[in-house]
A and B are shown apart, each in its own frame.
Chain A
Amino acid sequence: MSSKKMITLKSSDGRIFEVEEAVAQESQTIKHMIEDGYGNSVIPLPNVTGRILYKIIEFCTKHVAVEEDIKQKSVEPTVVVEDVKQKSVEPTVVEDVKQKSVELPVDDDAWDAEPSDIDEWDAQFIDVDESTMFELIVASNYLNIKRLMDLSAQAIADMMKDKTVEEIRKIFNIQNDFTPEEEMKIRNENSWAYE
Chain B
Amino acid sequence: MEQLPNEILEKIICLLPVKCVLRLRCVSKSWLAIISSPYFVKLHLKRSVQTKSNLRLFRWRYDLFQVDFNSLYEGNDLQMVKVDSIPLMFRKYGLVPNCSCDGLLCMSTICVIQNVLLCNPSPRRYYGPNCSVDGLYCMPKVRAIENVFLWNPSTRKSIKLPYASIEIANQSDRLNAYVYCCYRIGYDNNNDDYKVVRIVILISYHLDIIIDYEIKVYSLRSNFWHRPEKFSHCPNWISFGNIIVGRALHWISTVKSDLKRESLIVAFDFGTEKYRVLPQPEYSSPHFDLYLDNFGGCLSLSCKYESSIVDVFLLKEYGKKNEHWSRLITLSPTTTSEIYHPVTPIAYSKCGKKVWLHMGRMRLVLYNLEQKLVEENTVDGKRELTSPLHTCFESLVSIDVPVAPMVTWEVV
Contact = CB atoms under 8 A, between A and B. Distances in A.
Contacts of B20: 160-161, 193
A178 B22 CA distance: 16
Contacts of B351: 109, 112-113
A193 B85 CA distance: 11
B137 to A, nearest CB: 44
Interface string B1-25: 1111101100111011101101111
20 contacts: A109-B351, A134-B4, A138-B8, A153-B8, A153-B11, A157-B13, A161-B20, A173-B1, A173-B2, A173-B3, A178-B29, A183-B26, A186-B25, A187-B26, A190-B23, A190-B25, A190-B156, A192-B85, A193-B22, A193-B23
Contact of B3 (A109, A174, A191, A192): A174
- Please classify how large the interface on chain A is, using the bins under 10, 10 to 19, 20 to 34, 35 or more: 20 to 34
Given A149-B11, A173-B1, A186-B32, A168 B25 contact: no
Given A157-B15, A160-B16, A174-B28, A165 B23 contact: yes
Given A156-B12, A172-B4, A173-B1, A190 B155 contact: yes
Given A112-B351, A192-B85, 15 more contacts: A112-B352, A131-B1, A141-B8, A153-B8, A156-B12, A157-B12, A160-B16, A160-B20, A172-B4, A174-B3, A175-B28, A183-B26, A189-B25, A192-B411, A193-B20
A72 interface: no
Interface string A135-164: 001100100000001000110110011000
B231 interface: no
A174 B16 contact: no
B324 to A, nearest CB: 25
Interface of A: 109, 112-113, 131, 134, 137-138, 141, 149, 153-154, 156-157, 160-161, 165, 168-169, 172-178, 183, 186-187, 189-194
B388 to A, nearest CB: 28
B407 interface: no
Contacts of A157: 12-13, 15-16
Contacts of B29: 177-178
Contacts of A165: 23-24, 26-27
A130 B147 CA distance: 49
A177 B17 CA distance: 25
Interface in B125-178: 155-156
Contact of A172 (B3, B7, B16, B155): B3
B374 to A, nearest CB: 21
B31 interface: yes
B28 A177 contact: yes
A168 B12 contact: no
Interface string B21-60: 0111111110110000000000000000000000000000
A127 to B, nearest CB: 17
Most buried by A among B11, B29, B31, B155: B11
A134 B1 CA distance: 9
Contacts of B352: 112
Contacts of A189: 25
A174 B27 contact: yes
Interface of B: 1-5, 7-8, 11-13, 15-17, 19-20, 22-29, 31-32, 85, 155-156, 351-352, 411-412
B229 to A, nearest CB: 40
Contacts of A141: 7-8
Contacts of A178: 26, 28-29
Given A153-B15, A174-B3, A193-B19, A137 B24 contact: no
B156 A192 contact: yes
Given A109-B351, A174-B31, A168 B24 contact: yes
A175 B28 CA distance: 7
Q: 8 closest pairs, A vs B, by CB?
A: A157-B15, A190-B22, A186-B26, A193-B22, A153-B12, A193-B23, A193-B19, A183-B26
Nearest to B353: A112
Most buried by A among B3, B4, B12, B26: B26
Contacts of B4: 134, 137-138, 172
Contacts of A154: 15
A169 B28 contact: yes
Contacts of A176: 27-28
A66 B26 CA distance: 43
A189 B412 CA distance: 10
Contacts of A187: 26
Contacts of B11: 149, 153
A186 B351 CA distance: 43
B371 to A, nearest CB: 14
A172 B411 CA distance: 31
B1 A169 contact: no
Contacts of A169: 27-28
A174 B22 CA distance: 17
Contacts of A172: 3-4, 27
Contacts of B19: 193
A127 B369 CA distance: 39
A154 to B, nearest CB: 6
Nearest to B7: A141
Nearest to A184: B26
A177 B16 CA distance: 23
Contacts of B85: 192
Most buried by B among A157, A169, A178: A157
B70 to A, nearest CB: 15
